[in-house]
Amino acid sequence: MIPVDPVLQGQVDSLNAAYGLSLDDGRLEEWPDFFVDDCLYQVIARENVDNGLPAAVMYCDSKGMLVDRVVALRRANVFPEHFSRHLISRAMITGVNGETVTAQANYAVLQTRNDGETRIYNAGKYIDRLIVEEGAMKLVSRTCVYDTHRIATLLATPI
């Protein structure tokens, strides 16, 4: 455990709260703005991470790819109508190196489809690298390592 600057802790937790709410409220177009331009976002099964295997179900290594994901979701992709609900734990700051902060947080994404039942859709943890850019905390990389390695139907909306 490193001594945690409460301001930094608050910044990371606030970013996570805003991130989850923007996805859950359906404001997908805001989602890429949580990242720096030269970013990495991936959603990867824990079974792969534990076995040193790199394949991810989403692997976006530029902000442009995040934007493309959102445009595809809005205009091209077909998936069950649903609401998402992110429950994100308080982050644990795992390192501070100059401008760069590393942190991890647990998450659970609940999903509600048209049948009205709310299911635990995806549980896992975020492994993040962040920097402060123009006064705002931004994600340099976010790796969503999911325990729920049986994806229900498909995974369309970012985690």
Partner 1 sequence: MTFENGLGPRPSLPTAVDYGVYHSPEVFAAEQREVFRGRTWSYLGLEAEIPDPGDFRATHVGETPVVLVRGLDGKVNAWVNRCAHKGATVCRSLRGNQADGAFVCVYHQWAYDAEGTLVGVPFRRGLKGVGGYGKDFDPANHSLEKLRVEAYKGMVFGTFSSEVEPLEEFLGPVMRKYIDRVFQRPVKVLGYARQHMAGNWKLYSENSRDSYHGALLHLFYPTFGIYRQSQDSAGELAEQGFHNVFTVAKPKGDIDYGSFGNEANREMQGAVQLQDESLLQFRPEIDDDIGLHIQSLFPSVVLQQIQNTLATRQIVTHGVDQTELIWTYFGYADDDEEMTRHRLRNLNLVGPSGLISMEDGEAVELCQQGTVGAQGKYNFIEMGGDDVRGYYAPMGMDENAVRGFWKGYLELMGNALATSSKEVVA
Q: Does 109 sit near partner 1 (CB under 8 A)?
A: no
Q: How far is the CB of 75 from partner 1 (least distance, A)?
A: 5
Q: Decide whether 7 or 78 has the Cβ nearer to partner 1.
A: 78
Q: Is 71 a residue that touches partner 1 (CB under 8 A)?
A: yes
Give 19 or 41: the residue with its C-beta nearer to partner 1: 41
Token pair 């994404």: residue: 109
Residue 152 near residue 121, CB atoms below 8 Å = yes
Does 80 participate in binding partner 1 (rule CB under 8 A)?
yes
CB nearer to partner 1: pick between 41 and 93: 41
